[in-house]
Structure 1
Amino acid sequence: MMTKLCIDFGSGYNPKTGYKTCDVTTLPQLDFQYDGKDEIVGLREKSVDVFYLRNVVHHIPDLQRTFTTLKKYLKVGGKLVIIDCN
């Protein structure tokens, strides 16, 4: 069975065991840090199967730049899952 990499984006304040986490904060429990611009520190380009963004999109000041950055890290055929109530 092939392992998939799913990044829970914006999870800095609520990381869960078994999840890879990423946030703009510098909290020590994060697996990766998004610099808010063009790079996700600690992550290789084209290595992510799924980015999962739950209740975080309305906090992102520059959506176009962020989505362009996420696309750079997604594998071909990768998914961007967004759940947001605002």
Structure 2
Amino acid sequence: MYRSHCHPHLRLGGELVLQERLRDLAQLVYPYRADSESVHSQFDLSLWNRRMIACGVERQKLLLLGFALSQKATSHQLHLSKAA
């Protein structure tokens, strides 16, 4: 049996607890998988030649954040216009 001094939840049968927690987490986020894949596909299509035009990790994060915010704002506006 695997025993870890760093992770007490893995001691003496804790593997089952960890597996149950991971299973619960997977069930929680799985319904959003199609949405996230759609957003990733849209992001890939928006890139020039499928390459990000930002140099450095911080600029890439900023570009991705801007893309996510614009998608969220567009979705929100469409939702409001359908509700009206």
Same topology, TM > 0.5: no
Larger helix share, 1 or 2: 2
Higher relative contact order (CA 8 A, sep 6+): 1
- Greater Rg, structure 1 or structure 2? 2
- Normalising by structure 2, report the TM-score: 0.26
More strand by share: 1
